[in-house]
Structure 1
């Protein structure tokens, strides 16, 4: 074990030991407490554990910090207190010294940086958990951005992930079977390895650029192969404004942006069977004509035809208010546990009434939906409190984890964009249904399958 790897291991092992002590103390202290006090104590423990994990991971560059970032986006996997604490890891990480970046570029590309680039800005314009991005100019005068992976990040990936998993398990955060833990962490591990392989990301960029080629308003940076490797990715510079600026534009422009974001995600899922699963607002830029620039194609998830058809069926059952079909889909997706405990239809109907509102699905919402004043996320939190007694009958699913993350992220992008738009025609387009169906069929007047 190298000196730096040893230090990382000791820091993570120390965090795990500290969390184990807190969990044991909390459990012993509240042995004789009533249910309400135990729940309150557990919530406080989770808050404390979340902050400790976030603080420890925040000090450490590399895969372990990326694990924390990924974890913060899976709010259905981790308790809300832990997910909230980990969210601070989404912020930009401090930059690595230029001397180390220069050495990494020269080592990977096999030539002096002054030969490779006519200009290379020493200060990065973005720094994240596994690498940072610098603006540069090629010898031919083309403006580019250079994504440089931090040295040795990939070497620590698996050991970092094991330590974080152990800490979460000891804290009682992972309230699920060992088999499900294996599936979820295999998904996170694969996501990490994909994001650390810039050759794979370059391939993804080419695939998605070809898929979206017909929409000139959706811009995907071009790969400069001569200046790219497994740990260096050089791309054409494609600039735009951040989401906060786009939010100040006219609603007509914002509708174009929202439509493109919808096509970006739904088109990939239902037509390409591969999806960009990191809709963080920093991975998009926007132009005043409604164009969208998409970045960071490391986090891609592929789906089988069977999975995509199941997602489509689930969406159709939701729109039709068919709670029996919906529950069967949830069992097939391994979200609903197979047990004899009955869940009343009203439970599902309550969630549909909230979840379908942003899509302008009648009778839950008719006409354009104002994302800027959306209360859906608050309604979800309120509904969770009243639904607690049924939550033991549900569990996270490896098949939908990345999909949940993507849909949730795009919802927040539209909220922060502040757009008012009717998305139901777009929903109808991807589900191959008449617009009238997405605008008013409820459980009482469900059509037969043959009419869809």
Structure 2
């Protein structure tokens, strides 16, 4: 990965994005499909932080114009892999003589992402492993890329997102991206999670292989599975089982261990032949303090009670809504959209009526952003929860959220 030309290309993509947003603000009609295609082609080749930001945006299905969201979603599943010679270069840097460790390394990647790609390999003992290979030179260009990402994120001011919030979100994103380059930390997270869930028969977490890992390559035992994004055609029992396991796991992570998997794109999860949930990637795990969980549950409680003043108080206690003029009408409409998901009985996450109402609510939320001022430290947490929610939607989950939530509300008070 070379620095030459990257800044110029990222600035060009940022300018094109800004032009589309400006055209919309002036009452015009932007060509979101064309913009999405340009972003896909450019970011798929460049990789790195900007591609990661676009992948995060693509998970916000209810925030983006549909044509743009559809094109960005391709970055989750169709991003062009880095050519094999560059990956081979990284493997040689890690192992020296690759043939000493492996009888074969597949040149075609098993998966491609923004910060690295995964290749299957076979040891001389005949075991299949996967090698998560960091893109060569990524660490060298990370900081210069982040400067351009910060400039792109400043476009959020056009949506009345306060600059302080944008700066805080950027710092949280930057810290997360720097953390994803730390393969030693991810190996430790894999080991921690394997120990944590060793007695849960519904979860599978790959075993890290320290003897074959290093700063730029993370080796794991291969676990075969059907990616979550491919489960749309699976039988209902399999999808429902995976959905329940995913919901249970997220709940346990938050309320028992105070952590959350913060990179919820569908490629990080799969179902194995026994119908177990496979969690492939633990490069982004965030701590969630108990006080933050309690504040968020207070907001949810007020929402379910259709109490706009209580919602406003909870948001202010979380550190948001610093200004004057509580948007009480927006709170009421938000409660009307969200509360049905938590009514007694089983809720169908594939009910398009719920998503339509949320999509219709989104522009009103952005319009009130200068008054809402969501707490900066909860933005990535909210994004992660939103991504997990949409994974449940894609699975067509049927969950009794009232039954699941009631004990958690009692625990939070």
Q: Same fold (TM over 0.5)?
A: yes
Whether 1:192 aligns to 2:177 is yes
Shift in Å, 1:261: 0.3
More divergent stretch after superposition (70-79 vs 403-412): 70-79
**Which gives a bigger RCO, structure 1 or 2 (Cα 8 Å, sep 6+)?**
2
Describe the superposition over 1:187-245 as per-residue Cα deviations: whole angstroms up to 9, x where unpaired: 11011111121111111111222222221210110000001112101111111223355
Q: Deviations over 1:278-317 (max 9, x none)?
A: 2211111113543111111111111223222222333333
Residue 120 of structure 1: aligned partner? 105
Q: Which TM-score applies when normalising by structure 1?
A: 0.80
The aligned counterpart of 1:401 is 379
Residue 129 (structure 1) shift: 1.9
**Aligned match of 1:372:** 350
Q: Secondary structure at the match of 1:147?
A: strand
Name the SS of the counterpart of 1:402 in structure 2: helix
Cα 1:19–1:400 shift into 2, 3 Å: closer
Q: Return the match for 1:347 from 311, 327, 330.
A: 330
Paired residue for 1:65? 51
Change (3 A) 1:318 1:151: same
Larger radius of gyration, structure 1 or 2? Answer: 1
Taking a change above 3 Å as real, the CA distance of residues 140 and 402 of structure 1, as seen in their structure-2 partners, is same
Q: Does structure 2 retain, via aligned residues, the 8 Å contact 1:246–1:288? A: no
Give, in whole Å, the separation in 1 of the partners of 2:191 and 2:273: 25
Q: How many residues align?
A: 413
- SS of residue matched to 2:218: strand
State how 1:415-434 maps to structure 2 within 5 Å: 415-432=393-410
Give the aligned partner of residue 266 of structure 1: 251
Deviation, 1:248, is 4.2
SS of the residue 1:134 aligns to: strand
Task: Describe the SS at the equivalent of 1:290.
Answer: coil
Instruction: With the length of structure 2 as denominator, give the TM-score of the two structures.
Output: 0.87
Q: Cα deviations across residues 67-106 of structure 1 (Å, max 9, x unaligned)?
A: 3323444679989887666444333322223232222112
Please name the residue that 2:8 is paired with.
10
**In structure 2, do the counterparts of structure 1 residues 413 and 394 end up closer, same or farther at CA, with 3 Å as the change threshold?**
same
Instruction: Work out the CA distance in 2 between the residues paired with 1:269 and 1:90.
Output: 25
Superposed displacement of residue 112, structure 1: 1.2
Hey, what's the Cα distance between the residues in 2 that align with 1:56 and 1:94?
Answer: 10
Q: Distance in 2 between matches of 1:192 and 1:416?
A: 26
Distance 2:235 2:14 in 1: 50
1:220 paired residue number: 205
- Asked whether the 8 Å contact 1:63–1:156 carries over to 2, the reply is no
SS at match of 2:223: coil
Q: Distance in 1 between matches of 2:392 and 2:293?
A: 24
Partners of 1:54 and 1:85 within 8 A in 2? yes
Q: Distance in 1 between matches of 2:158 and 2:228?
A: 33
Q: Using a 3 Å threshold, how does the CA distance of structure 1 residues 120 and 234 change in structure 2: closer, same or farther?
A: same
Say what the alpha-carbon RMSD is for the aligned residues.
3.2
User: What residue number does 1:356 align with?
Assistant: 339
Verify: 1:108 aligned to 2:86, yes or no: no
Is 1:96 the counterpart of 2:96 in the alignment? Answer: no
Change (3 A) 1:320 1:88: same
